Amino acid sequence: MNKGMSLSIFEIVGSPICVASGDGQKVYDRLAATLKEGLNVTLSFHNITILTSAFLNAAIGQLYGSFSEEQIRSMLTVRDMQPDDLALLKRVVETAKLYFKDPKKFDRAVQEALGSDSDES
Amino acid sequence: MKLFLPEIRHDQAGFEALIRLHAQTKDCLFDDIEIDMNATTWFDADMCAAFGAILYHLGAELNTISLTNMRSDVGDILARNGFLSHYGREKIPDRWGTTIPYRRFDVKDDRYFADYIEAELMNRSEMPAMSPALLKKFRESVFEIFSNAVLHSRTERGIFSCGQSYPKRQRLDFSVADLGIGMRQNIKENTGLSFTPQQAIAWATEGRNTTKRGLIPGGLGLKLLRDFIDLNGGRIQIVSDAGYWRRENGKTVIARLNRPFPGTVASIEINTADMQSYALSSEISENDIF
């Protein structure tokens, strides 16, 4: 295993509330720089109390546009996350994989979503 | 110009009444606009977000607004949550501690919005006693709604929010309105898809649909909100352009409104007595994320 480092989200954002896309971008910038150097990263969510999909999309989802799934899986680990936050991150990651795999197909997954369970008045 | 406002409840009719006000005034410039509220026998406080957005739009067009003949009980509600402070009245103390004050934010005010939510929800003993799990889900939901407005609305005139709790009914209402381009236009510009306004809202709340383009993926916020409200037994209403969308008891209702709202409003009502743990049926491992 190569040399690794640990990043604290609290230290980067400066708050336990991680809701803004702009704050997620700050985390992404550090993650991407570290991964580009070929270093393993452990991302700590210690003391983080609130996360949104907007923050996680920018911080982590965005990685799938620059790095392969294999790279991310082998080089990035998370810790100190609450189970429901892990579930949110998992949804963000699955969405990001689809988004970057085939953006056009992503767009086409459209009409079928309409009218399936709606009552129009 | 003098206009009359009926009762405003947080339902389709309430939104339509506010939209009618917008339609009657949207072209006014340097005008004196009197809104007679004698017939406003009820005003659901969280609707201040949508009402405030419409009035802010009027003010930005350099109109002078006066709210007249307001019944004292309605005036008390709107003064307690700080709404009337924007229109020349003093704020009065929130004796029962049931309001989440009316505020206007700019799109870069994520941090201020977070501070507002923490101060008004977390650090107040008068707020309804919600389970820690529910409180967390509710906070996440309001942040998701705000993020949605920040990321998609392109509003230059701000984002407006307001809430109210109803302890006897064990309900907590919270609304966020923006003066942006609306979902229909956003989807059209980003994906080329042409929808009716009501279909556009349905599209944005379904499946994996997203208008996000470029480096950062998106398209989850409204689905997470919908999933939470289904579990909680609450209600979401979204008004965008001339579209109306409501989700309650696992059912969705969509409708076309007669006229458009000048942006988007998302309004949620949660059941504060909900004691679900929101624990997952199977734990996800930190080693199985990527």
**pLDDT tens, residue by residue, B162-202:** 999 998 889 999 999 999 999 999 888 888 889 999 999 99
Q: What does the pLDDT read at residue A116?
A: 45
Lowest mean pLDDT among A37-51, B103-117, B138-152, B209-223: B209-223
Residue A30 has pLDDT above 80, yes or no: yes
Assigned domain for A114 exists: no
Confidence of residue A111 (pLDDT cuts 50, 70, 90): very low
Q: Could you state, in order of their start, the residue ranges of all structural domains in chain B?
A: 2-90+98-274
Residue from the list A88, A96, A109 with its beta carbon closest to the beta carbon of B217: A96
Q: Name the DSSP letter for residue B168.
A: T
What pLDDT does B207 receive? Answer: 65
Q: How far apart are CA B155 and CA B244, in angstroms?
A: 20
B261: nearest Cα among B12, B54, B25: B54
Report the C-alpha gap between B2 and B9 in whole angstroms: 22
What is the Cα–Cα distance from B198 to B238, expressed in whole angstroms?
9
Fold of B2-90+98-274: Heat Shock Protein 90 (3.30.565)
Q: What is the pLDDT of residue A104?
A: 59
Residues B197/B241, Cβ–Cβ less than 8 Å: yes
Interface touch B284/A120, C-beta < 8 Å? no
Of A103, A109, A121, the CB nearest to B209: A109
Is A43 among the domain residues? yes
Contact B209 A110 (CB under 8 A): yes
How many domains are there within chain A?
Answer: 1
CA nearest B204: which of B251, B260, B266, B143? B266
The pLDDT score that the predictor gives to residue B41 is: 97
- In what helix (H) or strand (E) does residue B99 lie, and over which residues does it extend? strand B99-105
Contacts of B218 in chain A (CB under 8 A): 53-54, 57
In a domain, residue A18? The reply is yes
The whole-number average pLDDT for the span B261-274 is 93
CA dihedral B231, A120, B7, B161 (to 10 degrees): 50
CB contact under 8 A, A78 and B209: no
Q: B28 pLDDT exceeds 60? A: yes
- CB distance from A68 to chain B under 8 Å? no
**Which residue in chain B has the smallest CA separation from A66?**
B215
Q: In this structure, is residue A15 part of a structural domain?
A: yes
A121 found inside a domain: no
Q: Is the dihedral of CA A56, A58, A59, A64 positive or negative?
A: positive
Residue A6 C-alpha, separation from nearest chain B C-alpha, in angstroms: 15
Rounded distance between C-alpha atoms, residue B99 and residue B135, angstroms? 16
- Which H helix or E strand runs over A90? helix A83-101
- State the Cα–Cα distance between residues B118 and A18, nearest whole angstrom: 13
In a domain, A23, yes or no: yes
Average model confidence (pLDDT) across chain B? 90
Q: Please give the order of strands across the beta sheet that includes A40-44.
A: A4-8, A40-44, A76-79
CA distance B120 to chain A (A): 15
Give the model confidence (pLDDT) of A31-54 as tens digits.
999 999 999 999 999 999 999 999
Instruction: Say yes or no for a CB contact (<8 Å) between B255 and A121.
Output: yes
Instruction: Report yes or no on A104 lying in a domain.
Output: no
* Contact call for residues A121 and B213 (beta carbons, < 8 A): no
Quick check: A114 pLDDT over 50?
Answer: no
In this predicted structure, what is the pLDDT of residue A115?
A: 44
Backbone φ and ψ of B227, nearest 5°: -60, -45
Chain A CB contacts of B278 below 8 Å? 84
- Domain with A44, as residue range(s), is 4-99
B110-117 helix and B132-152 helix, angle to the nearest 10 degrees: 160
CA distance B217 to chain A (A): 6
| B64: confidence class by pLDDT, cuts 50, 70, 90 | very high
Residues 6-65 of A with CB under 8 A from B: 15, 17, 19-25, 49-55, 57-58, 61-62, 64-65
